[in-house]
Amino acid sequence: MNPNQTSDTGQTSRETNTQDPVTSPPPPQYYSAQRDQISGGVIAVAPISRADAVRLRKAGIDIVVCGIYEGENRRLAKEIESEANDTPIHCYEHRKTNQSRALPHFHPIRRHPKGHCFYETNTLKVVQKP
């Protein structure tokens, strides 16, 4: 687009650029996780590094990837599970009530080691630690 060209909203691209400084969203964060027995949701326990996330998944401990973008969260969750264990499979949530906060996840196709690599979606987020 020409810098002085008027957009659909009536702004030039130059105006748009000056008014909307580029702000990068916070990158996804990794947390060790626990299942919440009441809501079926996932509790983010403590922030961890990516390397720790892989290590915990190798040990069969739940982790969760939290972030704004569902697609990015899913890609990272799959990467971690692939790195930690054998062929990961993707299970989406199976909610039976609107109160359920279950998150989609990856885990090894043979379920060994145990645990899940959860991720947040656009609408389903981790629940607060009670």
Partner 1 sequence: MNFFTPDLYVRLNSADDVVVDKAAKEWSNANEAYIKHLDQLFVKLPPNVKAVAFFDQFHDAKILSQRYVASSRVYWRSEHEDPMPMVEHFEIVAKNADSLLFLTYVLQPRNKERRPVLQHIRHEREGSVAFPFLVGETYWLYDEMTINPEWAEWYRAVLDFENKVQPQLEHRILLSDGAELVIDFMDVFFTVLPLKVVCENFDEVYG
Which one, 41 or 66, has the nearer CB to partner 1? 41
Which one, 17 or 100, has the nearer CB to partner 1? 100
Which one, 55 or 75, has the nearer CB to partner 1? 75
Q: How far is the CB of 74 from partner 1 (least distance, A)?
A: 7
Q: How far is the CB of 109 from partner 1 (least distance, A)?
A: 5
C-alpha 36/C-alpha 83 separation (Å) is 26
What are the structure tokens assigned to 34, written together?
Answer: 């626990």
Q: Rounded to whole angstroms, what are the CA distances from 70 to 3, 9, 47, 103?
A: 33, 28, 19, 11
Q: How far is the CB of 14 from partner 1 (least distance, A)?
A: 34
Which one, 58 or 110, has the nearer CB to partner 1? 110
Which residues of this protein are in contact with partner 1, per CB under 8 A?
Answer: 35, 40, 70-71, 74-75, 87, 89-98, 100, 102, 104, 107, 109-111, 114, 121, 123
Here the contacts of 96-99 (C-beta below 8 Å, separation 24 or greater) are: 99/39
3-class secondary-structure state, position 114: coil
Q: How far is the CB of 39 from partner 1 (least distance, A)?
A: 9
Angle between helix axes 50-58 and 70-84 (nearest 10 degrees) is 50
